[in-house]
Amino acid sequence: MDHATPARLTALRQAMRQHDVAACLIPTADPHLSEYLPAHWQAREWLSGFTGSAGTLVVTADHAGLWTDGRYFAQAAKELAGSGIELMKQRVAHAPEHIDWLLDHLGEGQTLAVAGDSFPLAAAHGLARRLERIGAHLRTDLDLPGQIWPDRPALPAAPIVEHPARYATQPRADKLGRLRTAMRKLGATHHLVSSLDDIAWLTNLRGSDVECNPVFLAHLLVQVEGHATLFVDRGKLTDALVSALGADHVRIADYATVTDALSELGAQDRLLLDGNRVVGAVASAIPAATTLIEAPNPSTLLKARKTEAELEHIRDAMRRDGAALARAFRRLEERVTAGMTQTELDVDALLLEERSIQPNFVGESFSTIAGYQANGALPHYHATPEAHSTLKPQGLLLVDSGGQYLGGTTDITRVLALGETTAEQRRDATLVLKGMIALSRARFPRGASGPQLDALARAPLWASGMDFGHGTGHGVGYFLNVHEGPHGIRPPASGATLVPLDPGMITSIEPGLYKPGRHGIRHENLAVVIEADKTEFGEFYAFETLTLCPFDRRALEPGLLNPEERAWLDDYHATVRAALSPLLEDADLAWLERHCAPL
């Protein structure tokens, strides 16, 4: 627990009273609605002490609640203890979500405040309408957490670099041209892009303003005829890069002046924006006379469909990443077996050391999750110098990690048997693997979406009365964010948009099982959607597995696998052996051969 939390809540409530605010909503967001935030916008973490990546804090005069999902229940309960903030579980039967809770606790004439630079335009409109029905009001012009944050971190100032043309594969002029084609179809004269991964992809630029995500703070305003304006801190760009952007008709303006530019739009202009990806504080500058076209950013779908040139680079990155993992896992296995003291922190260090010597490695794609035994039951566990476990030659170690390479982004989870395992552990690991295999082998018709396939990965667990509380798959960027939309594989949700899985889309396949206090299992590969067949019933797609690293068969119960599943695992290991063998030698090659042997 952060012992400063009660004092900070007191200060926030004083500010609320000064502005006659009955409730303050503090989401996990920034002006670009990023999943991972620069420190400047980590107000929810600063106020609550909860360090998870997803959560919403609601504070009233007599209550403070932190809403988060099943990945973080155990972590949040621990970090919120004694803070005066109650854990409110999201997506749990009969438990209210934060907006419903607010509507139940606010009344006639009361005001809810949320900082407009951290709240989506579409959500603000929807929330204002719901509050209006009960006579309450929404204010988005107050950043109350910011008012009481005396040592708020400055905006990041890391340099911006060009993504080398060899790896970008498509010139930015071509990408902007494809974007303008989509704008014309929608009848737009201008398009505002605030999502950082879209901007990085469109401009072929990369940065490091957000930890582990190679993006930079910026907005982009594209004219359908003419130039595009990149609103960014000029100090992050070299003169040569500014000239190169200018040659592609991309102008530079100060980051803070995006609202000035929007305010200059006229009645004849038609502005395309995604109300779920642009914050209200930015959109508020748009003149009422300007026509708004609210639709998803076309670039989001364009960048999700990886080209064959991008996929070739990704396959090479997977080979390099797989070789690094093989070397790291072999060294870890030998150290633990030899009785050397190894902790969860050493796993992180080993993986980074081996990845760092791989060609074109840039950094981690997220902070490594290395959870030994019971710690593996925390889906987003993170070992710290103050709290971590020492590994022993027994039980299971869950390792979820990834790398950023110039030619791709990786994300992989493996469960390692460090020694003797229990029958329950092996059964659980095998049931989860059966689900992964079922989804990896799936054939599905064109137009099918992730929620239609999600049950394939859960069925083996359901048959044993078990389940897991997170999605089965997320999109992955190309040397970009490790979590990328618009597609995903998760249980169906009422009102959610179904995004078809198209060829070129990369998704994780990562079913899991978590038993608090005992162990956690998650197996994860990345796969790309490919064309499979054409029949009288139409086109059918399949998955090509991209990740290359053996599963630890010592953690499995092979007798639970049917012949088709055994064949899939043997074929996968044969593919891994063929791909990684040229990159390994001596003890590392022997380790690979041993772990890739047929069942």
pLDDT in tens, 525-549: 999 999 999 999 999 999 999 999 9
Query: Tokens in use for 101?
Result: 């809770």
Residues 260 and 398 reside in one and the same domain: no
Of 302, 334, 352, which residue is a domain's last? 302
Query: Residues 302, 303, 308, CA angle at the centre, nearest 5°?
Result: 95
CA dihedral for 403, 296, 453, 455, sign (positive or negative): positive
In a domain, 152, yes or no: no
For range 159-183, the mean pLDDT:
98
Overall domain count for the chain: 3
Q: Are 222 and 191 in contact (CB under 8 A)?
A: yes
For range 88-116, the mean pLDDT:
93
Query: Tokens in use for 263?
Result: 């305010």
In a domain, 460, yes or no: yes
pTM over 0.75: yes
Distances (CA, A) of 37 to 41, 44, 230: 6, 11, 20
For range 344-362, the mean pLDDT:
97
In a domain, 92, yes or no: yes
In a domain, 201, yes or no: yes
Q: How far apart are CA 423 and CA 186, in angstroms?
A: 58
Q: How far apart are CA 283 and CA 476, in angstroms?
A: 28
CATH code where residue 297 lies: 3.40.350.10
Instruction: Tell me which residue range forms the domain holding 481.
Output: 308-595
CB-hemisphere CA count at 13 Å for 113? 22
What is the DSSP secondary-structure string of 72-98? GHHHHHHHHTTTT-EEEETT-TT---H
Residues 389 and 533 reside in one and the same domain: yes
Exposure class string for 73-95: b at 16+ Cβ within 10 A, else e: bbbbeebbeebebebbbbeeeee
Query: Residues 204, 209, 215, CA angle at the centre, nearest 5°?
Result: 25
Tell me the three state secondary structure of residue 350.
helix
Mean pLDDT of all residues in the chain? 96
- Residues near 504 by Cβ (< 8 Å), separated by ≥ 6? 304, 305, 306, 307, 311, 528, 529
In a domain, 156, yes or no: no
Label residue 386 exposed, middle or buried (CB < 10 Å: 0-12, 13-18, 19+). Answer: exposed
Is 93 a residue whose pLDDT tops 90?
no
Residues 190 and 117 reside in one and the same domain: no
Residues 435 and 524 reside in one and the same domain: yes
Residues 446 and 588 reside in one and the same domain: yes
Q: How far apart are CA 44 and CA 112, in angstroms?
A: 16
Per-residue confidence at 74, pLDDT binned at 50, 70, 90? confident
Residues 382 and 262 reside in one and the same domain: no
Sheet holding 403-405, edge to edge: 361-364, 403-405, 408-409
Residues 289 and 401 reside in one and the same domain: no
pLDDT in tens, 234-267: 999 999 999 999 999 999 999 999 999 999 999 9
Question: Cα 594 from chain centroid?
Answer: 34
Q: How far apart are CA 437 and CA 450, in angstroms?
A: 16
pLDDT in tens, 115-161: 999 999 999 999 999 999 999 999 999 999 999 999 999 999 999 99
For range 464-472, the mean pLDDT:
95
Is 2 a residue whose pLDDT tops 60?
no
Of 261, 276, 302, which residue is a domain's last? 302
Residues 280 and 330 reside in one and the same domain: no
Phi–psi pair at 113, nearest 5 degrees: -115, 140
Is 1 a residue whose pLDDT tops 60?
no
Q: Are 380 and 428 in contact (CB under 8 A)?
A: no
Of 277, 302, 327, which residue is a domain's last? 302
pLDDT in tens, 483-534: 999 999 999 988 888 999 999 999 999 999 999 999 999 999 999 999 999 9
Q: What is the pLDDT of residue 319?
A: 98
Q: What is the pLDDT of residue 92?
A: 84
Is 318 a residue whose pLDDT tops 80?
yes
Residues 314 and 298 reside in one and the same domain: no
pLDDT in tens, 177-208: 999 999 999 999 999 999 999 999 999 999 99
For range 340-347, the mean pLDDT:
96
Residues 260 and 343 reside in one and the same domain: no
Q: What is the pLDDT of residue 596?
A: 98
Which residue blocks in 357-469 are alpha helix, DSSP H?
423-440, 450-462
- Residues near 548 by Cβ (< 8 Å), separated by ≥ 6? 318, 319, 321, 322, 575, 576, 579, 580
Query: Residues 574, 578, 580, CA angle at the centre, nearest 5°?
Result: 115
Residues 244 and 326 reside in one and the same domain: no
Q: How far apart are CA 584 and CA 328, in angstroms?
A: 12
In a domain, 238, yes or no: yes
CATH code where residue 573 lies: 3.90.230.10
Q: How far apart are CA 150 and CA 142, in angstroms?
A: 16
Residues 79 and 177 reside in one and the same domain: no
Q: How many helices (H) and strands (E) does the chain have?
A: 19, 28
Q: How far apart are CA 471 and CA 489, in angstroms?
A: 6
Query: Of 130, 204, 125, which Cα lies nearest the Cα of 160?
Result: 204
In a domain, 153, yes or no: no
In a domain, 570, yes or no: yes
Query: Of 211, 154, 148, 153, which Cα lies nearest the Cα of 4?
Result: 148
Distances (CA, A) of 312 to 168, 292, 363, 505, 524: 12, 39, 20, 14, 21
* Number of C-beta neighbours around residue 597 at 10 A: 13
Q: What percent of the chain has pLDDT over 70?
A: 99
- Residues near 420 by Cβ (< 8 Å), separated by ≥ 6? 393, 394, 395
